[in-house]
Amino acid sequence: MRSVILYTLARFAIFAVTAGVLALFGARGFLLLMLALLVSGVISYVLLSAQRDRLSAAVDGSWRRFQAGRTKEDA
């Protein structure tokens, strides 16, 4: 669960910094939001790959435990 929170906070931080920089360059309103989403998505894809892998492993582990419990309950 910790990896999910850290990844989410990192994504929000990258988005906020990107939006701030774009606002300094004059982007406003809808254009600011769309550009910030696009640019922060690309930056996050590159910078957060290790955190994304940990997040994926955590979610997969939780899913496998859920499935094992469900199978055990059905038996």
As separate numbers, helices (DSSP H) first and strands (DSSP E) second, the chain gives 3, 0
10-residue mean pLDDT profile of the chain (75 residues): values are 90 97 95 96 95 90 83 70
Closest to 18 measured CA to CA, from 29, 8, 32, 28: 32
Q: What is the pLDDT of residue 75?
A: 63
In residues, how long is the chain? Answer: 75
Burial class (CB in 10 A: 0-12, 13-18, 19+), 36: buried
DSSP secondary-structure letter at 25? Answer: T
